[in-house]
Amino acid sequence: MSIKRLPADSVVLVVEDDALVRFCAAEILEGAGFSVVEACGADEAWDVLHDRSDIAVLFTDIDMPGSMDGVTLVERVHVVWPDIRLILTSGRHRLADCEVPDHGLFLAKPYSSSQVVEAIGQAG
């Protein structure tokens, strides 16, 4: 399968409350040539999305502390920024891709580097 490339000025927003998992996901994506911005929760991600116009893909965990979880975040993003591609991930929940708004994707944890890169490529 060929990996689609995001436009050069676009960014992947990685949202994960576990710092090590967030770091690893960001490293995987940066190593594959993607630009990455990190957020430690949905509330911080919401602020980032309001401050930036270059986010192309939202890669978010489902379970996070704060006022919203990853599912609520992607639902809100889909309404406000319908061009942002959506990927949900979790080690506790299992969703079908059809349960993610706007033809988004679900990636189960633990995931491999190639699965993360492929998911971002499919979303782009």
55 found inside a domain = yes
Q: How high is the pLDDT of residue 121?
A: 83
How far apart, in whole angstroms, are the C-alpha atoms of residue 55 and residue 30? 15
Q: Which residues sit opposite 86 in a β-bridge? A: 58
Q: How high is the pLDDT of residue 124?
A: 63
50 found inside a domain = yes
Residues of the chain with pLDDT under 70: 1-9, 97, 124
CATH of the domain at 30: 3.40.50.2300
Region of residue 102 (phi > 0: left; psi between -120 and 50: alpha; otherwise: beta): left
Count of domains for the chain? 1
Q: How high is the pLDDT of residue 7?
A: 56
